[in-house]
Amino acid sequence: MTWLSIGNILTKIIDISIVWFMFYYLLKNLRKNVKLVLIFKGVIIIIVIKLVSSLLNLYTIGLLLEYVISWGPLALIIIFQPEIRAVLESIGRSQLLGRHKVLTVDERERVAYEIMNAVEYLKRNRIGALIVIERNVSLQEYIEPANKIYADITAALIEAIFFPPNPLHDGGVIIQGDKLTCAGAVFKTSMNPNFSKKLGTRHRAALGVAEETDAIALVVSEETGKISIAVDSSLNYNLTLEEFKILLLEELKPKMEVFYDADEEEVAEDE
């Protein structure tokens, strides 16, 4: 095997890897947007009909589809420009090497412990709060205009930030790894028409950031003291403290641990 043939093989591998990477990110972001999923299905249907018309020599439908295929992409870009822009912004915010810091088990439990103590206090005293935990998708666009803190996470600090006289209590706080990065952050609210009108701005903001990113958004209602978690574009509303803790710990766990756990179980079974 010559160096030229090795170079050709490497070039093909890089070419295929880039295409696979593009499709992976496209499909990953498609599943979060209902409109783009419908567009994708429509394109697939048009391609299938075009293939069938070519096989059966259906001249009229084939001619119409030629025009659709020629001008369709331009029409889609014009009509669905906001959705396409949202997907591109989401890809741009993604951190290819993962979150800022992957927490150890001890760090994760300490962070969860401090957050739980704060949430329990806020719930008991009916103090509204919005705590957003960054994962793989960067929240830098929300951090930049907010008030920077970058401090160790403690229950006392979270309670102090959201205590009503504090000028920062109306916004949200953002957590990166084991640090509370900023306070007074303002998030885009969800425009989901199925969202209950009884829920306020904090819940809409929590769902909004969960729809746009993979962040975990924790909410304490000021009116009722109910606690909720928005994650993966859905809102888990009115959780008990135990349910809240279990879901928080599960979502804080790095996704790779699933594979490690499975491997450990297989080893145990073999023994």
Q: Is the pLDDT of residue 255 over 60?
A: yes
Average pLDDT of 163-176? 90
**How many angstroms separate the CA atoms of 50 and 58, rounded?**
9
Residues 209 and 231 in one domain: yes
Is residue 21 in some structural domain? yes
**Confidence (pTM):** 0.64
Partners of 151 in beta bridges? 180
Which pLDDT score is estimated for 233? 84
Confidence of residue 9 (pLDDT cuts 50, 70, 90): confident
CA dist 138 and 92 (Å) reads: 9
Q: What is the pLDDT of residues 214-253, one digit of tens each?
A: 899 999 999 999 999 999 888 999 999 999 999 998 998 8
Cβ neighbour number for residue 100 with a 10 Å cutoff? 15
Q: Is residue 271 part of a domain?
A: no
Does 259 have pLDDT greater than 60?
no
Which of residues 61, 93, 125 is at a domain's end?
A: 93
Domain co-membership, 153 together with 112: yes
Which residues sit opposite 185 in a β-bridge? Answer: 172
Q: Is residue 266 part of a domain?
A: no
Q: What is the pLDDT of residue 43?
A: 79
Q: Are 67 and 149 in the same domain?
A: no
What domain range is 71 assigned to? Answer: 3-93
Total Cβ atoms within 10 A of residue 80 = 17
Give the burial class of 209: count Cβ atoms within 10 A of its Cβ; 0-12 exposed, 13-18 middle, 19 or more buried: buried
Same domain, 87 and 116: no
Arithmetic mean of pLDDT over the chain: 81
Rounded to an integer, the average pLDDT of 7-26 is 80
Q: Which of 5-9, 73-77, 87-91 has the least mean pLDDT?
A: 87-91
Question: How many domains are contained in the chain?
Answer: 2
pLDDT digits (tens, 9 = 90+) for 122-167: 999 999 999 999 988 888 889 989 999 999 999 999 999 999 888 8
Pair 175, 253 in one domain: yes
Spatial contact of 128 and 162, defined as CB atoms under 8 Å apart? yes
Mean pLDDT lowest among 63-67, 76-80, 197-201: 76-80
